[in-house]
Chain A
Amino acid sequence: EVVLTQSPDFQSVTPKEKVTITCRASLIIGNGLHWYQQKPGQSPKLLIKYASQSISGVPSRFSGSGSGTDFTLTISSLEAEDAATYYCLQSTSLPQTFGQGTKLEIK
Chain B
Amino acid sequence: EVQLVQSGAEVKKPGESLKISCQGSGYRFDFYWIAWVRQMPGKGLESMGIIYPRDSDTRYSPSFEGQVTISVDKSITTAYLQWSGLQASDTAIYYCARLSTALAPLGSFDIWGQGTMVTVSS
Contacts and interface: CB of A to CB of B under 8 A. Distances in A.
Interface stretch (B7-15, B23-31, B74-82, B111-119): B111-119
A98 B44 contact: yes
Scoring B49, B95, B107, B108 by chain A CB atoms within 10 A of each residue's CB, the highest score goes to B108
A36 B110 CA distance: 10
Given A43-B115, A89-B109, A95 B44 contact: no
Given A34-B108, A91-B106, A91-B107, A97 B47 contact: yes
Interface string B18-51: 0000000000000000010000000011110110
B67 interface: no
Interface string A53-95: 0000000000000000000000000000000010101010011
A38 B46 CA distance: 14
* Majority-rule SS of B interface residues: strand
B49 A46 contact: no
B66 interface: no
B110 A46 contact: yes
Contact of A94 (B105, B110, B113): B105
B59 A94 contact: yes
Given A94-B59, A95-B59, A95-B61, A44 B108 contact: no
Nearest to A35: B108
Contact of B45 (A46, A49, A101): A101
Nearest to B101: A91
B100 interface: yes
A98 B47 contact: yes
B113 to A, nearest CB: 7
A31 to B, nearest CB: 11
13 contacts: A1-B61, A34-B108, A34-B109, A43-B95, A43-B112, A43-B115, A44-B109, A44-B112, A49-B107, A95-B47, A95-B60, A97-B47, A98-B46
Given A43-B114, A94-B59, 13 more contacts: A43-B112, A44-B95, A49-B100, A49-B108, A87-B44, A89-B45, A89-B109, A91-B108, A94-B105, A96-B35, A96-B47, A96-B109, A101-B45
